[in-house]
Amino acid sequence: MLVGTILMWLTWPMIDEKQSPSATDAIWVYGAVTIVFALVAFYMATTRAYILSHLHYAVTNERAIVLRTGRNHLLAMRDYLISCWHAKDFPYGIVEGRPYSSLTVGFLLSEDVVQPFGYGLTHSGWSPLRVRGVIPVLFEQVKDANALRTLLFEASDSALARRP
């Protein structure tokens, strides 16, 4: 959005005053579009901060757990719980991000775990397999993702040793 706004304003000096619409008319449109872009950017930033502030992570001896508190389509507060079994062969990939990296702990639908998470909260009338996509489950914005990854590898080793 920022690049689009800058490029839009760079075209303003090229508009001839004798044309219709004129440069004076264009400045009002450019100003309105800039304000809309700024409001959308502010909304995206505050929504992301809200989501990150309502995420909770846990690592047990058997699973990695993500709990998200969020509003559903009726604006009721709900808790959405995702748990992923530890697996020795799972890579626990690190996704680079700002200011901190995120750690992939599993995927929805990878072991028939189907719950609303990630790309919004599903409508209660929809089938959970409506999109049939594979959505990564992340521990988002973790300060020391490498240390957490090591912990998850150790937990998966000990969990496999206990399983029959």
Residue 116: what pLDDT? 44
Residue 40: what pLDDT? 94
What is the distance between the alpha carbons of residues 158 and 140, in angstroms, rounded to a whole number? 24
What is the DSSP track for 89-127? Answer: T----EE--SSSEEEEEEETTTTS-----SSSPPPTTS-
Residue 133: what pLDDT? 62
Residue 125, number of CB atoms within 10 A of its CB = 7
CA dihedral (68, 54, 136, 85) in degrees, to 10, reads -50
Q: For residue 25, give both structure tokens.
A: 């008319």
Which pTM value belongs to this model? 0.61
Q: Which residues of the chain have pLDDT under 70?
A: 109-134, 159-160, 162-164
Residue 86's SS3 state is coil
Residue 32: what pLDDT? 94
